[in-house]
Amino acid sequence: MSNISPLCPKPDVCGSCGWSHIPYEKQLQQKLSDINGSFAMKKLDLQVEDIFPSPKTSHYRNRMDFVISFKGEVGLREKGKWWRVIDDHTCFLGDEKIETLFATVRDWSKSCGLSFFDRKSNIGTLRYAVIRSSSIGETMIIIVTSAPNGESQSGEGNVLTTVDFNDDKASIESALADLAKNAGATTVVWSVNHTVSDVSFGDDLRVIGGPGAINENIDGIKFRISPNAFFQTNSYAAPMLLSTVRDFAGDLTGKTLLDLYCGTGFFAVAMADDAKKTIGVELVADAIRDARINAELNNVSVDFHDAKTEDFDWMKLGADVVILDPPRSGMHDKALADVIAAKPARIVYVSCNYKNFAREMVELSKYYDVDNIRAVDMFPHTPHVELVTALVRK
Query: For position 21, what pLDDT does the model report?
Result: 87
Q: Could you report the per-residue pLDDT of 314-362, keeping only the tens digit for each?
A: 888 889 999 999 988 888 889 899 999 999 999 999 999 999 999 999 9
Which residues belong to the active site?
A: 352
Q: How confident is the model at residue 59 (pLDDT cuts 50, 70, 90)?
A: very high
| pTM (whole model) above 0.85 | yes
Beta-carbon contacts of 29 under 8 Å, excluding residues fewer than 6 positions away, are: none
Q: How confident is the model at residue 157 (pLDDT cuts 50, 70, 90)?
A: low
Query: For position 12, what pLDDT does the model report?
Result: 78
Q: pLDDT at residue 22 above 80? A: yes
- Give the separation between CA 379 and CA 235, rounded to whole angstroms: 11
Parallel, antiparallel, or unpaired: how do β-strands 277-282 and 303-306 relate?
A: parallel
Query: For position 166, what pLDDT does the model report?
Result: 86
Q: Could you report the per-residue pLDDT of 135-154, keeping only the tens digit for each?
A: 999 999 999 999 998 777 77
Q: How confident is the model at residue 5 (pLDDT cuts 50, 70, 90)?
A: very low
Look up the CATH architecture of domain 24-56+231-393. 3-Layer(aba) Sandwich (3.40)
Beta-carbon contacts of 90 under 8 Å, excluding residues fewer than 6 positions away, are: 64, 66, 75, 76, 98, 99, 102
Burial of 154 (0-12, 13-18, 19+ CB in 10 A): middle
Query: For position 85, what pLDDT does the model report?
Result: 92
Q: What's at 284, amino acid-wise?
A: V
Query: For position 4, what pLDDT does the model report?
Result: 44
Radius of gyration of the chain from its Cα atoms, rounded to whole angstroms: 22
CATH 2.40.50.1070, the chain: domain bounds: 63-217
Which option is the CATH number for 63-217: 3.40.640.10, 2.40.50.1070, 3.40.50.1110, 3.40.50.300? 2.40.50.1070
Query: For position 158, what pLDDT does the model report?
Result: 59
Q: 162 vs 10, 188, 271, CA distance in Å?
A: 41, 27, 48
CATH 3.40.50.150, the chain: domain bounds: 24-56+231-393
Q: How confident is the model at residue 156 (pLDDT cuts 50, 70, 90)?
A: low
Query: For position 155, what pLDDT does the model report?
Result: 63
User: Do residues 279 and 258 touch, judged by C-beta distance below 8 A?
Assistant: yes
Q: How confident is the model at residue 173 (pLDDT cuts 50, 70, 90)?
A: very high
User: If you average pLDDT over residues 210-239, what whole number do you get?
Assistant: 96
What DSSP string runs through 9-60? S-TTTB-S-S-TTS-HHHHHHHHHHHHHHHHHHTT-------EEPPS-SSS-
Q: How many CB atoms lie within 10 A of CB 210?
A: 17
Question: Left if phi > 0, otherwise alpha if psi is -120 to 50, otherwise beta: which for 177?
Answer: alpha
Q: pLDDT at residue 280 above 90? A: yes
Query: For position 305, what pLDDT does the model report?
Result: 94
User: Which of 120, 322, 130 has the alpha carbon at shortest distance from 225?
Assistant: 130
Task: Output b/e per residue, 306-315; b: 16+ Cβ within 10 A.
Answer: beebeebebe
What DSSP string runs through 274-312? GSSEEEEEES-HHHHHHHHHHHHHTT---EEEES-TTTS
Mean residue pLDDT across the chain? 93
Q: 377 vs 100, 155, 257, CA distance in Å?
A: 26, 40, 25
Query: For position 3, what pLDDT does the model report?
Result: 44
Percent of the chain predicted with pLDDT > 90: 80
Lowest average pLDDT, out of 46-50, 231-235, 284-288, 321-325, goes to 284-288
- Give the separation between CA 162 and CA 325, rounded to whole angstroms: 40
- Give the separation between CA 260 and CA 323, rounded to whole angstroms: 6
User: Do residues 32 and 356 touch, judged by C-beta distance below 8 A?
Assistant: no
Beta-carbon contacts of 174 under 8 Å, excluding residues fewer than 6 positions away, are: none
